[in-house]
Amino acid sequence: DRFEYLQALVTEFQDTDSIEAKTQVLANLANFSYDPSNYEALRKLQVIDLFLDMLTEDNESLVEFGIGGLCNLSLDKTNKEYILQNDGVKLVIGCLSSPNEETVLSAITTLMYLMTPASREEITDTPVVECMLRFSLSTNRRLSNLASVFLQDYCTVEKVQRAQSLQGHSAVGIPLPQD
C-alpha cells in the first residue's frame, strides 16, 4: 500500500540519527512528490511541513531535497495554499542564497509556482528582483535563463527598473551559486 510505504519513509526519517539515511529518505520523498497520486498521502503525513523544515537546515543536501520536494508539490492548488499559509515564500527566498546550484534553481522555480495575486508582492519584492537581475547575468546558462524568465514573466517593468536603479546601492547579501 502506497500510504503505508510513504508512512514508513517518514518514520525512518524521524527515527534515524544518520544524516546519510535522512538525506536518502528525503530524496525518496522528494521523488514521490512528482506524482499527483501521492499528494493526499503526503499531506496526511505532513511531508510539506517536513520539506519546509529542511529549508533552514545547515546540511546543503537536506536543503536541496527539501526545496526539490516543495517544488514538485507546489503546482497543486491545495499544496500551494498550504505552503503560502506556512511562511513558505520567506523560506524559499532564503534558499536563493544557497551555494548549491540545484537548490537555487528549485527555489526560483518554486517561487514561480507559488505566484498568486496574493503572493506576488512578497515574491517580487525588490531584494528578490535584484537577486534575479544578478542571476540573469550569471555565466551559468541554466541560472541566467531561469532568472530571465522570472524577470520577464513575473515582474512588472517598474519593479525591474526600480531594482536596477538600486543595484550597487544596497547590499542584498545573496551570493551567486558557484559554477
Q: Which CATH superfamily is domain 2-117 in?
A: Leucine-rich Repeat Variant (1.25.10.10)
What confidence score (pLDDT) does residue 23 get? 98
Residues 6+ apart with CB under 8 A from 64: 98, 100, 102, 103, 106
What confidence score (pLDDT) does residue 168 get? 61
CA pair distance 111, 127, nearest whole angstrom: 14
Question: What's phi and psi for 19, nearest 5 deg?
Answer: -65, -40
What confidence score (pLDDT) does residue 166 get? 84
145-166 confidence digits (pLDDT tens): 999 999 999 999 999 999 998 8
- State which residues of the chain have pLDDT below 50: 169-172
Question: How many C-beta atoms surround the C-beta of residue 9 within 10 A?
Answer: 18
What does pTM read for this prediction? 0.91
What confidence score (pLDDT) does residue 167 get? 72
CA pair distance 58, 48, nearest whole angstrom: 19
CA pair distance 177, 47, nearest whole angstrom: 27
Contact (Cβ atoms closer than 8 angstroms) between residue 171 and residue 137: no
**Sequence ranges of the domains in the chain:** 2-117, 125-170
